[in-house]
Structure 1
Amino acid sequence: MTFSKALALAGLTLIGAATPGWAADWGGVRDMGGGVPVPVPAPAPVPTYDYDSDWYVGLGIGANVSQSAKIKDSDIDYLGNSTPGFLARDSGDIGASPIFSGSFGRYITPSLRAEVVFDYSPDAEISDSRKLGYAVMNSAPKISGGVVSIDTNAYAVTRTDTVKLARTTGLVNLLYDIQTGTRFTPYIGGGVGFTWRSLRRNYTENATCIGATNSVDGLYTPLGTCSGNTYLPADGTISGSSSKQQLDFAAAVQAGLAYNITDSIIWDNGWQMLWESNAIASSAPSASGENRIVFKDSTVQQFRSGIRIRFD
């Protein structure tokens, strides 16, 4: 073997022996970029919404805090003439009455929910139930000798009249929850539906005729004499009761604040302004002919507090 070949063979042998040391010192080709592996970023999670766990039921109690309505009382005589009565209470004097509430709903999205709500409010008195004394008149036609005239009797009346209003409302509401990232969730909403109102009335009246006039002959004499017209009531007492129910359209707006006690139990405190369409009236007999109380153009401010429970 020549010297040059022997030298080349020795060099190859040294390189082969040194290769494992290089690998240990330098980490190989794949590690020569800095020595620390760079992880591949994981994909961002995509939010999902579980529609199967977003039904809820609710129970609440509250009050009709105030009512704004037109309450009109009138006496209507035999001829249909109307004069203002004395029995109506101002709507601002009605006072608070309780509300009992039940609801059933579902979350459409994490922030938007739809619900059906039924509220019941028992009797609230809309009349002045004190024993009142006042005078009324009633008129009716009189035919005598081919001449038509009008008799008018005057009566002294004492009357006790109690008129109570109850309502049941059913609304379909759409509400938006304002997410805050805390346990507190404000919300706003609105809804439409129906109001089923009931007027219950109990009355007692004592009437005494205190005089009469005729449109042709003038004052009946002696003073205090009644006309004796068969269409007009005589002295006496009347008493009784009546009721009236009526279904009308209703609409409302809501705002409130909910508190998440747990993921499934929510404490809900809300305000609602309820509007009721149309008028409901109650009539009762009187020496005046007919006494009629009308309740209309009602807007009710309501507050309720309760629990909502979510379930699968």
Structure 2
Amino acid sequence: MIAPCRLALAATVLACAAPGLARAADLLPPPPPPPAVAPVEIGSGWYLRGDFTQSWFADPKDAVPAGPGINPLLDLRMTPASGYGGGIGYRVFPWLRIDATIDQRGPSDFRALSSGTGFVTGYNVEAGKIDVLTGLVNVYADLGTWYGFTPYIGGGIGFADKAMRRNYTQTTCFEVGCDGIEGSAPGPRDVVPRANRSVASFAWALTAGLSYDIGAGFTLDAAYRYVDLGRAKSGLDAFGYNTRVKDLAANEFRIGLRYNFSNFFAPGAAPDPYGN
């Protein structure tokens, strides 16, 4: 008889305590929501760029091998040229980025002199125009940001296509028959045209620049670049001769804009600590 009494007592206690336990359960906070899935920024490191370039060409050298009847070119000159370009790039790390660029420079006037007699009886002029297209893959290291300004250094490799156009050669005589034509009077002879020709070769560049973040994804970029362009040559003239030069190079000033797509993919994000 004792066991049934104990069971009845336990049941009574539970029945009395149940409403209190239910009220205590109602007071417990709800379980926390599951963590939000962070959005994936696809392509936020990509940027586009557009640039204006002013090129000052170093004086090239004559690339025609010396030999009998070959008068070496002297006083080779190329005039400055303006150009434009653009490209696409990607920021690999906050301090490291790469881009691929194409730059087209306008025609530069080329001129050189030669004389087999040391300019005693006459001289020759070789002249024309050279325009240069480059395609480079570049790597840049940003060196930190101060007040929005970010200095950087970089280098690139690629190709340079040099087109020599409207080339010609012309002889001027100081005395009768200086060009081997007996009885010919002193003065300039007829221009002998040379055919157009393009030559593509390896090119490389070194860059130092400064950029400034102007907001809304845009960065103003100004840089100095040295670019080695290789060799160039014209087509042949009616006598089987051409103009050949080597060691083409340019000192360039470039200014342009970059647009970083991170502002499109992540609007309202904090500005890039490197300012690019």
1:82 aligns with 2:69: yes
**After superposition, what is the alpha-carbon deviation per residue over 1:68-109, rounded to whole angstroms, capped at 9, x for unaligned?**
4214679x9xxx7333156x5434xx2321121101101111
Question: Once the 2 structures are TM-superposed, how far is the Cα of residue 272 of structure 1 from its aligned partner?
Answer: 0.9
Question: Once the 2 structures are TM-superposed, how far is the Cα of residue 273 of structure 1 from its aligned partner?
Answer: 0.9
Segments of 5+ residues of structure 1 without an aligned counterpart are 1-47, 137-155, 214-222, 227-235
Determine the C-alpha separation between the residues in 1 that align with 2:116 and 2:202. Answer: 38
Aligned to 1:163: 128
Determine the C-alpha separation between the residues in 2 that align with 1:176 and 1:118. Answer: 20
Q: 1:295 to 1:268 in 2, by over 3 A?
A: same
Question: Once the 2 structures are TM-superposed, how far is the Cα of residue 240 of structure 1 from its aligned partner?
Answer: 3.4
Aligned to 1:300: 250
User: Counterparts of 1:1-312 in structure 2 under 5 Å?
Assistant: 52-71=43-62, 81-84=68-71, 89-91=75-77, 94-128=78-112, 161-203=126-168, 205=170, 210=177, 224=182, 237=190, 239-277=192-230, 279-285=231-237, 289-311=239-261, 312=265
AA aligned to 2:197 is K
Q: 1:109 to 1:212 in 2, by over 3 A?
A: closer
Q: 1:272 to 1:51 in 2, by over 3 A?
A: farther
Determine the C-alpha separation between the residues in 1 that align with 2:69 and 2:235. Answer: 13
Determine the C-alpha separation between the residues in 1 that align with 2:88 and 2:51. Answer: 12
Instruction: Give the conservation status (yes or no) of the 8 Å contact 2:137–2:157.
Output: yes
Aligned to 2:18: none
- Bigger radius of gyration among the two: 1
Q: 1:254 to 1:49 in 2, by over 3 A?
A: farther
Determine the C-alpha separation between the residues in 2 that align with 1:200 and 1:124. Answer: 10
Determine the C-alpha separation between the residues in 1 that align with 2:100 and 2:93. Answer: 17
> Is the deviation greater in 252-261 or in 65-74?
65-74
**After superposition, what is the alpha-carbon deviation per residue over 1:102-155, rounded to whole angstroms, capped at 9, x for unaligned?**
011011111111100111112111215xxx99788xxxxxxxxxxxxxxxxxxx
Question: Once the 2 structures are TM-superposed, how far is the Cα of residue 284 of structure 1 from its aligned partner?
Answer: 4.4
Question: Once the 2 structures are TM-superposed, how far is the Cα of residue 162 of structure 1 from its aligned partner?
Answer: 3.0
AA aligned to 2:104 is Y
3-state SS of 2:43 partner: helix
Determine the C-alpha separation between the residues in 2 that align with 1:273 and 1:261. Answer: 26
Q: 1:85 to 1:291 in 2, by over 3 A?
A: farther
Instruction: Give the conservation status (yes or no) of the 8 Å contact 1:85–1:291.
Output: no
Instruction: Give the conservation status (yes or no) of the 8 Å contact 1:113–1:176.
Output: yes
3-state SS of 2:195 partner: strand
TM-score, length-scaled by structure 2: 0.65
TM-score, length-scaled by structure 1: 0.58
Instruction: Give the conservation status (yes or no) of the 8 Å contact 1:63–1:303.
Output: yes
Determine the C-alpha separation between the residues in 2 that align with 1:159 and 1:205. Answer: 6
Q: 1:183 to 1:240 in 2, by over 3 A?
A: same
Question: Once the 2 structures are TM-superposed, how far is the Cα of residue 293 of structure 1 from its aligned partner?
Answer: 2.1
Aligned residues: 215
Instruction: Give the conservation status (yes or no) of the 8 Å contact 2:204–2:228.
Output: yes
Percent pairwise identity: 24
Segments of 5+ residues of structure 2 without an aligned counterpart are 1-38, 266-276
Determine the C-alpha separation between the residues in 2 that align with 1:292 and 1:255. Answer: 37
AA aligned to 2:137 is V
Aligned to 1:28: none
3-state SS of 1:82 partner: coil
Aligned to 2:20: none
Determine the C-alpha separation between the residues in 2 that align with 1:272 and 1:308. Answer: 17
Instruction: Give the conservation status (yes or no) of the 8 Å contact 1:73–1:291.
Output: no
AA aligned to 2:76 is D
